[in-house]
Amino acid sequence: MPSESTSSNFSADEYFATQPPPPTLEHDVAAVREFVVHHSATGRKVVLVTSGGTTVPLELNVVRFLDNFSAGTRGATSAEYFLSAGYAVIFMHRQFSLQPFSRHYSHSTNPFLDLLELEPSGNIEVHGKSRSELVEVLAAYKNARESGMLHSMTFVTVNDYLWLLRAVSKELAVLHNRVLYYLAAAVSDFFLPRQRLSEHKIQSGKGSLLIEMDQVPKILKPMVDEWSPNSFVVSFKLETDPALLIPKAQASLERYGHQIVIGNDLHQRKFQVVFVSRDPRNGTTTETWFRMDPHAVDERGRPREIEQDIIAELVRRHDAWIQVK
Ligand code: 9Z3
């Protein structure tokens, strides 16, 4: 059972006043500013996709850290469907987690080298059955890069993530209702303030290790109210107890006042999700389930991905929202 905490909880303002920004923040923000200026002129809708898990280092010279579960599949897959739907995409992901397009050739599920054949001449050939898929993925990848539709940036720690999210959302605010936030990253609820971090590797030999962590501030609230107030915000809620999914999603909508929480159960997440939304006029919530057959294939004969349905629905809802906003 978790023990009762005696440590303080940081507000978002206190957090940013006491925790140092990542060294690359200014550089990352400058690149986002450029992206925003460009797409402000193109008139495109822009989505910020966050993806992968955050870490919580236990030492300043990090040897050990707490990690959050996430391969980055949801985020990387969704980014591709957003691009197909005409959105310009900022893909903010955990370093080394899955990325759009290259995810199809993950070293663990589809090693790239196994698709290649070395000819006696020294030329490299792609196996016949893999070639057409590779051509398609490569063309979409090159197109996204060369057209400036996909911009990637990385985080590792929860501190990197919080600073980046705040800075990027302030930059995106100028695009008003054309911005969609798709917060699929698995973010730690707890962190160790810099002031309490051990400088060097924690030594063993003193018996068990007790670590008391503070709660990460709930930054969706200032994001929705202050940093990017006219944007369409979609957060994810991950649970392992399915009975908690709807009540936790409803509580989150009530607390932060954003547009949609997509609930997913850890073990079913690839095949079923629930959209929970709330009518701010009377507080009633609506749940819409999306379920798919785990063996379903798409129109090209490849395994269907639930992100196709998620993004189609979000695009529809975002468009409808733009009309009335
Ligand atoms: C999710 O729920 C994502 O869908 C997954 C995707 C992390 C399950 P994978 O990367 O997994 O495809 O392997 N993301 C949000 C998780 C999260 O931390 N949500 C917070 C919470 O549940 C609130 S924003 O409290």
Q: Is 258 in the pocket of ligand 1 (CB under 6 A)?
A: no
Q: How far is CA 218 from CA 10, 13, 166, in A?
A: 9, 11, 12
Q: Quick one: residue 307, left, alpha or beta (phi over 0 = left, psi -120 to 50 = alpha)?
A: alpha
Task: Please report the pLDDT score of residue 2 as a whole number.
Answer: 47
Q: Is 73 in the pocket of ligand 1 (CB under 6 A)?
A: yes
Q: Is 77 in the pocket of ligand 1 (CB under 6 A)?
A: no
Task: Please report the pLDDT score of residue 106 as a whole number.
Answer: 86
SS3 312: helix
Asked casually if ipTM beats, i.e. exceeds, 0.90, the reply is yes
Mutate to test the pocket of ligand 1, among 70, 189, 253 (most ligand atoms within 8 A of CB): 70
What is the residue-level pLDDT of the chain in tens, covering all 325 positions? 444 444 568 999 999 999 999 999 999 999 999 999 999 999 999 999 999 999 999 999 999 999 999 999 999 999 999 999 999 999 999 999 999 999 999 888 888 899 999 999 999 999 877 899 999 999 999 999 999 999 999 999 999 999 999 999 999 999 999 999 999 999 999 999 999 999 999 998 888 999 999 999 999 999 999 999 999 999 999 999 999 999 999 999 999 999 999 999 999 999 999 999 999 889 899 999 999 999 999 888 889 999 999 999 999 999 999 999 8
CA of 229 to the centre of ligand 1 (A): 23
Residue 193, token pair as written in the block: 């303030």
Question: Measured between alpha carbons, how far is 243 from 246 in angstroms, rounded to an integer?
Answer: 7
Question: Measured between alpha carbons, how far is 163 from 153 in angstroms, rounded to an integer?
Answer: 13
Q: Is 183 in the pocket of ligand 1 (CB under 6 A)?
A: yes
Task: Please report the pLDDT score of residue 299 as a whole number.
Answer: 85
Q: Is 235 in the pocket of ligand 1 (CB under 6 A)?
A: yes
Task: Please report the pLDDT score of residue 109 as a whole number.
Answer: 84
Task: Please report the pLDDT score of residue 3 as a whole number.
Answer: 46
- Among residues 113, 109, 168, 100, which one has the least CA distance to residue 140? 100
Sign of CA pseudo-dihedral 121, 124, 126, 132: negative
Question: Measured between alpha carbons, how far is 214 from 6 in angstroms, rounded to an integer?
Answer: 9
Q: What CATH number should be reported for the domain whose range is 12-230?
A: 3.40.50.10300
CA of 300 to the centre of ligand 1 (A): 28
Q: Is 74 in the pocket of ligand 1 (CB under 6 A)?
A: yes
Task: Please report the pLDDT score of residue 107 as a whole number.
Answer: 84
Specify the DSSP class assigned to residue 9. -
Sign of CA pseudo-dihedral 290, 296, 298, 304: positive
Domain map of the chain by residue range?
12-230
Q: Name which residue sits closest to atom 22 of ligand 1, judged by CA.
A: 237
